[in-house]
Amino acid sequence: MPLNVLHYRHEGRPRWGVVRNGTVTPVEGDFPTTRAFLEKNSFEALTRLQGPTLREADVELLSPVTQNQQFLCQGANYRQHMIESGMDPDAKTFNMIFTKAQSCIAPANSDVVRPKRVRFLDYEIELGLVLRRDVTTPVTVTEANLSEFVAGAVIVNDYSARDVQIPQMQFYKGKSFRTFGPIGPYLCLLAPADFARLRDLQLSLTVNGKVRQKDSVANLVYGPAETLTELSGVQDLFVGDLLSTGTPSGCALSIPSPARQRIAALLPEAAKWKMFMTIQAGREQYLKGGDVVEARIATPDGAIDLGVQRNRIVVESA
């Protein structure tokens, strides 16, 4: 059975604890990073943890992925999201990888600050996977041994400034403003038997109570095992690092079809991007000050439940 862990602050002190039925059982010890926590606390020991408890409502949430950890992301990794992003899923033969700045990591209930310069702020619910072990040489990860590499799962919202990301072709800049990476509330630690149920996880995102995104992890194009295999041939990975696996369709962003993109490519650069900005300005789905975004990931039976992430959008003051 999975086990939800909370990173929190209580009486001025950062702590970790096991969540059960609205209460938190603190874990003894100081663990300043996700890596330190995972290295010193086994899944088995945490399942046996007993002792005095706190009410979950009485603690301050912190991100279960700390800002020292790498924040790796997959782009356009659900078929319908590829289509709405102007891509042909049948022609795409590569796994799109990018990173977000570690400083954008924020607690699950943080206000998300839309900078003054950003007009088109978008949401992207994603399943995040937190690594269990260091990987410093190429490895082959399979469905059978995935549990040796992944400790657990988190909710990620990959907030994106589309008017920076798209015209400037800058994923990193457009997605890395401070507060643009809320994570949690829980780090859901998984037992080996739980990994077979990752495909059952359902993602749902609402804005002001209205559903914008809804899909199943079963519809990922490039799964965790093949992605970790590919990444291991490129870079080092470390305990506690985060892989965010892509978002379903339903984003605010509207991109023309491949055919229209080919026509737009014939236009002067200034005209092309003016057209893009005009199209986006007509999209009411982009986030405004005061909007409330809620993200949920769970199996239909609730056996794996990553909790609820709730963010209020705040426009940066002049």
Model pLDDT, residue 256: 66
Closest by alpha carbon to 241, among 104, 74, 125, 68? 68
Query: pLDDT digit of tens for each residue in the chain (318 aa)?
Result: 999 999 999 999 999 999 999 999 999 999 999 999 999 999 999 999 999 999 999 999 999 999 999 999 999 999 888 877 777 777 778 999 999 999 999 999 999 999 999 999 999 999 999 999 999 999 999 999 999 999 999 999 999 999 999 989 999 999 999 999 999 999 999 999 999 999 999 999 999 999 999 999 999 999 999 999 999 999 999 999 999 999 999 999 987 666 666 766 777 888 888 888 888 999 999 999 999 999 999 999 999 999 999 999 999 986
Model pLDDT, residue 121: 98
Model pLDDT, residue 260: 67
SS3 260: helix
| Cβ-Cβ contacts under 8 Å for 313 (sequence gap 6 or more) | 111, 112, 114, 121, 287, 288, 289, 290, 291, 292, 293
Instruction: Note whether 69 and 134 are within 8 A (CB).
Output: no
Q: Which two tokens stand for residue 66?
A: 């700390």
Instruction: Note whether 132 and 243 are within 8 A (CB).
Output: no
Instruction: Specify the long-range contacts of residues 270-276, CB closer than 8 Å, at least 24 apart.
Output: 273/167, 276/166, 276/167
Model pLDDT, residue 213: 98
SS3 220: strand
> Whole-prediction pTM value?
0.95
Instruction: Note whether 61 and 109 are within 8 A (CB).
Output: yes
Q: Is the dihedral of CA 8, 9, 11, 17 positive or negative?
A: positive
Amino acid letter for position 207: V
200-227: burial string, b at 16+ Cβ within 10 Å, e else:
ebebbbbbeeeebbebebebbbbbbbbb
Instruction: Note whether 65 and 34 are within 8 A (CB).
Output: yes
What is the Cα–Cα distance from 23 to 58, expressed in whole angstroms? 9
Model pLDDT, residue 264: 67
Model pLDDT, residue 82: 80
CA atoms within 13 A on the CB side of 66: 18
What is the Cα–Cα distance from 65 to 87, expressed in whole angstroms? 31
Model pLDDT, residue 259: 67
Distance of alpha carbon 216 from the chain centroid? 15
